[in-house]
Amino acid sequence: MTTEARSAAAQRVSINAEGFPDAKEVPLETIQVEVIELFVHAVRVLGLPKSVGEIYGLLFISPEALPLDVIVARLGISKGSASQGLRFLRNLGAVQPSSVAGDRREHFKAVTELKKLAAGFISGEINPHLESGTLRLEKIRQIASSDTSQHAGFFRDRVARLGNWRRRGGMLLKIVSRFLGRTTKK
Amino acid sequence: MTTEARSAAAQRVSINAEGFPDAKEVPLETIQVEVIELFVHAVRVLGLPKSVGEIYGLLFISPEALPLDVIVARLGISKGSASQGLRFLRNLGAVQPSSVAGDRREHFKAVTELKKLAAGFISGEINPHLESGTLRLEKIRQIASSDTSQHAGFFRDRVARLGNWRRRGGMLLKIVSRFLGRTTKK
DNA sequence: AACTTTGTTCAAAATTAATTGAACAAAGAG
DNA sequence: CTCTTTGTTCAATTAATTTTGAACAAAGTT
């Protein structure tokens, strides 16, 4: 969704039977629009779809937990996108379901602890790739060890280097987790 | 390019006027194909195009520096892709031009020091985003400070949290650089 | 100068990813 | 039991990205 479209949607506030604006059509404040844009850019860098950034951003900058249909109305995205985006965010632990008394709908709130966000991203998005990479590397090692070509020495050197990279990558993830987990000092 | 297509291309080795296989049509060894695939997956995780992974992978697992037309022939990709991919890799510092005596073509070899690769990626791909994020955050701070809505307190709290995230992100990058820069122990 | 080699650029085509919306299921309300 | 609300799924559409290839430029060769 473009910024223009979002602003346009924000303008359209209908009045319901009781004469109050529909709760789910409360327009976004300027600051909310800006924060959502910030998250849209951030998730693009992480390789995630825009809708995921919009949803997380909206929840991050909303004072109350929101149900799916309100997210759909405020962002002007489809129910399908919202449902998939919320599932993704829930799986990552970036969003938490929370029940609201007297409301059957499931509400969601953003998890805002950096440590938790990073842990979820690492285990959900990074580790699977690291693991599949480890398998591939294992296979490559096999091939290298039985290689008898003119360049066997060179190949084995390169493969050793790949192993070294992977080892360091794993160490780095641990360092990152440790750093983000500690309480901030100075 | 699919694995199948690449294998097919590797099969087609023509014979030139002198009766030797054309230098640029030497087929890829199995181990080379596997390493290239490994890099294709790795660069996808980093959000880069497949061709970039293929080119870097080929150079990484090739004993000699290669010129553009050889890269095109071995990988079966277009000259355009190869040219753009090489420029990208050169800008990142992941690939180095090297001249070969008696050959007018510019040859390239992979830079394989993890520290250099990470430094190039950070300064070329991460820092620009961090900086644009910093600008956005500055703007958001302005808006938050002049906000007088019912939720002004909440908004300011969230904005403060964003500032905290950014500060930690910057620290993390430094830690990563320092870690990758040191010579491996134990 | 004319020709060849080498490499770049960029509009069009192909590919890949994200979004939509309608059909469906599950469960509460009346 | 029927109707409504809530949410999921997935095939079709739309959007974004990547690749191609032909035109071009720059520089070397004869």
Task: Provide the mean pLDDT of chain B.
Answer: 88
Amino acid at A109: K
What Å value separates CA A111 and C1' C12? 45
Confidence of residue B20 (pLDDT cuts 50, 70, 90): very low
Span CA (A119) to C1' (C9), Å? 43
B68 at interface of A, judged by CB pairs closer than 8 A: no
pLDDT given at position A181: 84
Q: Is B151 on the interface with A (CB under 8 A)?
A: yes
pLDDT, residue B26, reads: 75
Given a cut of 50, is residue B22 above it in pLDDT? Answer: no
**Contact check, Cβ <8 Å, B41/A136:** yes
- pLDDT score at A144: 98
Contacts 24+ apart (CB under 8 A), B166-173: B166/B130, B166/B133, B166/B134, B166/B137, B168/A114, B168/A179, B168/A180, B168/A184, B169/B130, B170/B130, B171/A179, B172/A176, B172/A179, B172/A180, B173/B122, B173/B126, B173/B130
CA angle, corner B42, sides to B80 and B100, nearest 5? Answer: 50
The nucleotides of chain C lying under 7 Å from a protein CB are: 5-11, 17-23, 28-29
Q: Does A166 touch chain B (CB under 8 A)?
A: no
**CA B34 to CA B27: how far, in whole Å?**
13
**For residue B185, what pLDDT is reported?**
58
* Number of helical (H) and strand (E) elements in chain A, helices listed first: 8, 3
Determine the Cα–Cα distance for residues A42 and B156; give it in Å rounded to an integer: 20
In this prediction, the residues of chain A whose per-residue pLDDT falls under 50 are 1-23
Gap between the Cα atoms of B6 and B2, Å rounded = 6
Only one residue has tokens 């023509």, namely: B14
Question: What is the 8-class DSSP label of residue B122?
Answer: I
Distance C18 C1' – B135 CA (angstroms): 28
> Is A168 at the interface with chain B, CB within 8 A?
yes
Q: What is the mean pLDDT of residues B175-179?
A: 94
Q: Which of A38, A126, A165 sits opposite B114 (nearest CB)?
A: A165
**CA dihedral of residues A112, A117, A119, A123 (deg, nearest 10):** 150
Check whether residue B49 has its CB closer than 7 Å to nucleic acid strand D: yes
pLDDT at residue B74 greater than cutoff 90: yes
Task: State the pLDDT at residue B54.
Answer: 98
The whole-angstrom distance between A140's CA and the closest CA on chain B is: 6
Tell me whether residues B176 and A172 touch, CB distance under 8 A: yes
CA A14 to chain centre: 32
Residue B95 reports pLDDT greater than 90: yes
Residues of A in contact with B60 (CB under 8 A): 158
pLDDT given at position A184:
64
> Is 60 exceeded by the pLDDT of residue B13?
no
- Name chain B contacts of A41, Cβ cutoff 8 Å: 129, 132-133, 136
Percent pLDDT > 90 in chain B is: 82
State the pLDDT at residue B133. Answer: 97
The pLDDT tens digits for B112-129 are 999 999 999 999 999 999
d(CA A84, CA B177): 36
DSSP letters for A7-42 = HHHHH---B-TTSSB-GGGPPPPHHHHHHHHHHHHH
DSSP structure string for A120-152: HHIIIIIHHHHHHHHHHHHHHHHHHHT--STTH
Given an 8 Å threshold on Cβ–Cβ distance, is B38 in contact with A133?
Answer: yes
**The pairing of beta strand B66-67 with beta strand B106-110:** antiparallel
What span, in angstroms and rounded, lies between the C-alpha atoms of A95 and A82? 13
Please give the structure tokens belonging to residue A125: 């998005």
Using CB atoms within 10 Å of the CB of residue A178, give its burial: 0 to 12 exposed, 13 to 18 middle, 19+ buried: exposed
**Is B114 close to A168, i.e. CB distance below 8 A?**
yes
Q: Is A68 on the interface with B (CB under 8 A)?
A: no
Helix H or strand E encompassing A108: strand A106-110
Q: Count Cβ atoms within 10 A of the Cβ of residue B114 and give its class: 0-12 exposed, 13-18 middle, 19 or more buried.
A: middle
Q: What's residue B10's pLDDT?
A: 37
Residue B27 — pLDDT band, cuts 50, 70, 90?
confident
Q: Which two tokens stand for residue A18?
A: 């009781």
Per-residue pLDDT, B4? 38
**The one-letter amino acid at A11:** Q
